[in-house]
Amino acid sequence: MNMVNDMAKIKVMDELLANKIAAGEVVERCASVVKELVENSIDAGSTEIKIDLVEAGTVQIKVTDNGTGMDQEDAVLAFSRHATSKVKNEEDLFHIMTLGFRGEALASIASVSKVKLQTCMTDIGTEVVIHGGKLISVNPCEARKGTIITIDQLFYNTPARLKHMKSLYTELASITDYVNKIALSHPDIKFVLTNNHSTLLNTDGSNQLLKTISAVYGIDIARKMIEVESEDRDYSIHGYLSLPEVHRSSRNGMVTIVNGRVVRNQDLNRVINDSYHSYKPDNRYPIVVFNIEVDPTLVDVNVHPTKMDIKFSKMEELQTLITNMIRDALKKRTLIPHIEVEEKIEPMVEEKPIYQEMTLDLNRVAENEDYLVIEDDIKQESPLFQTKENVQTQPQVEDTKEKEERMPELYPVGLVHGTYIICQNEKGMYMIDQHAAKERINYELFKKQMGNPNVESTALLFPMTFEFSNKDFIVLKENLDILRNMNFEVDEFGINSVIIKRHPTWLPKGYEKDATFKILETLLEVEKDFTIEKFNEKVATMMACKLAIKANENITELEMEQLIQDLRNCDNPFNCPHGRPTVIFYSNYDLEKLFKRSGFELPKW
């Protein structure tokens, strides 16, 4: 009898309850709903998708597309759990090319909202109304190719979920971020996003990625994007990356797309950011849009309910391909920031709620059609499309086909505050941060010397001794071989001390003891994933900074000329090891604008 009662405790839950539980994973917030509906529209072959929000989607979400639509039977069946047209058997899971495939989204959304679906694929349309997962009505409606799905009162029957939703601004920012990225992944689809009848994004669906980048990030960013592409036996990559001078405080600007799906992969983000090493500050991140095409059998998107996380079966191969592609692109270009003088015109802007205004500013999208960017505007103003006739007005990124030097010949004319070297050539005026420039020179010198196993060493007449705490001394003893491989002759010397009898000849003269102590300190900062490459990188960066010319230190004109020549011989003369610029540029035209000479003729006497 007891066994019967125990068995009776386990029951199969009804479908409505199961859908509400599934909604906890699939429908986390308004952005989750937009994501699922837009992905369905894309899978339906739509070329135009419009997303209309009321109060950031908390009141209403409406998605309109011109896809294939559904007949009456499919329109009702679509709201059943695990109902999908995209996966028919287990084998299909290994060849997924659609954005959706689980068949949970519509059922989950319908269980926590009021839904009206209007769809048509023939001469008769179908309208389906569902409230809280319960079918209210199925009726014929106006025939219009495609689908319109309206979500009202999201989470109205799950007050706990509604209570914990974020602010309107946060919800709208999350939706805008998603739509921006999905638009970048499908430049061949026209996307329109509105909130309370205010347009936040409007792409033209021309299948030109640079135009979509301009619509999302603004024309100023589009001008500073570099087109890249690369491929091997398994992967094909095409996209755009920003010049090092363009960077953000978060990784959100790094958009990776795999077979048309925007994905999230920490390893890919790390590889992309590391490829910019020493071209920008390490705590800042570039803007990149990479579209990766790969055989679907080599990736697994069935990792998380959001389908954002992805796993690659040949990750190392992809990492190498991306690293080489980015570094080759940066090495081929002059990367001197061009300081442009702009005349600001204040536009008339209607008053909007604060969450709308902030989002508009973030995405550089305006309601006025005059702000919309066309491809010809980008080509005329972007350094990527310069010709010989206009190259002098935008010399910061020159075409490598012209075979001009990355770092032009510069002639010093003076020093400001003992810090900034003023130079000139026929194109305009340049300013060099002498400390940053010397850091770059030292960094490349030290890194090269430490990577040379045949480096010479010199014996010390008076050996150097260093004393440490007992904890640090234990760590140091475990890594003395690293110092010996750098041609230091080092041994234990008494209690918690080491003695240096020889050191490599590349240590700066007069700073041998300071440099050695800094190297020992760096060795004590051993990380779990310690490698010789990382150690050499840290030592080179540290010594380059400590031993560079300081600010407010006057140098002679001859020393300026030598500094400039050494900088021109660097692999990357444009940034210090920390990513700060070494050189900035004012064109002749910008100088004339500053002094109001542009457009005016001097009087003839």
Q: For the residues 288-309, what does the mean pLDDT come to?
A: 75
The residue ranking higher by pLDDT, 569 or 2, is: 569
Report the alpha-carbon distance of residue 70 to residue 80 in Å, rounded: 15
pLDDT tens per residue, range 199-250: 999 999 999 999 999 999 999 899 999 999 999 999 999 999 999 888 888 8
CB atoms within 10 A of CB 404: 12
Q: Which two structure tokens, joined as six digits, stand for 356?
A: 């709308």
Give 418's pLDDT tier (boundaries 50, 70, 90): confident
Task: Please report the pLDDT score of residue 254 as a whole number.
Answer: 93
3-state secondary structure of 237: strand
Identify the residue with better confidence: 20 or 143: 143
What is the pLDDT confidence band of residue 352, given thresholds at 50, 70 and 90? very low
For the sheet containing 497-504, what is the strand order? 457-467, 497-504, 489-492
Instruction: Please name the residues in contact with 471: beta carbons below 8 A apart, sequence gap of 6 or more.
Output: none
pLDDT at 451: 66
334 vs 425: which has the higher pLDDT: 425
Pick the CATH number of 15-202 from 3.40.640.10, 3.40.50.300, 3.40.50.2300, 3.30.565.10: 3.30.565.10
Please report the pLDDT score of residue 385 as a whole number.
36
Pairing of strands 48-54, 190-195: parallel
pLDDT of residue 163: 60
Structure-token match 């792409």, residue found: 203
pLDDT tens column, 23-65: 444 577 888 899 989 998 998 899 999 999 999 998 999 999 9
**Lowest-confidence range among 100-104, 293-297, 520-524?**
100-104
Three-state DSSP state, 239: strand
Compute the mean pLDDT over every residue in the chain, rounded to the nearest whole number. Answer: 78
Return the C-alpha torsion angle 498, 503, 507, 510, nearest 10.
Answer: 70
Mean pLDDT of 168-181: 91
**3-state SS assignment for residue 20:** helix
Q: How far is CA 36 from the centre of its chain?
A: 23
Please state, for a pLDDT cut of 90, what percent of the chain lies above it: 34
What does the pLDDT read at residue 417? Answer: 87
pLDDT at 300: 75
| Intervals of CATH 3.30.565.10 along the chain | 15-202
Greatest mean pLDDT range, 36-40, 45-49, 283-287, 543-547: 45-49
Question: What pLDDT score was predicted for residue 62?
Answer: 96
- 77-133 pLDDT, tens digit per residue, is 888 754 444 444 444 444 444 454 444 678 888 888 899 999 998 888 999 999 988
Q: How confident is the model at residue 600 (pLDDT cuts 50, 70, 90)?
A: low
Per-residue buried b or exposed e for 181-205, using 16+ beta carbons within 10 Å of the residue's own CB: bbbbbbbebbbbbbbeebbbbbbbb
Q: Give which of 201, 171, 134, 170 is closest to 60, Cα–Cα.
A: 171
Per-residue confidence band for 339, with pLDDT thresholds at 50, 70 and 90: confident
Q: Helix 266-275 and helix 315-331: axis angle, to 10°?
A: 30
The CATH number fitting domain 456-505+509-546, selected from 3.30.1370.100, 2.60.120.260, 3.30.1490.20, 1.10.150.120: 3.30.1370.100
Residue 478: band (very low, low, confident or very high) from pLDDT cuts 50, 70, 90: confident
Average pLDDT over residues 465-493: 86
Res 559 pLDDT > 70? yes
Q: Could you give the CA distance from residue 275 to residue 326 in angstroms, rounded to a whole number?
A: 6
pLDDT, residue 365, reads: 34
* Cα separation, 424 vs 437, whole angstroms: 17
396 falls in which pLDDT band (50, 70, 90)? very low
Query: What's the mean pLDDT in 186-190?
Result: 95
Contact 421, 412 (CB under 8 A): yes
Q: Where are the CATH 3.30.1370.100 domain residues in the chain?
A: 456-505+509-546
Task: State the DSSP H helix or E strand holding residue 338, giving kind and residue range, or none if neither.
Answer: none
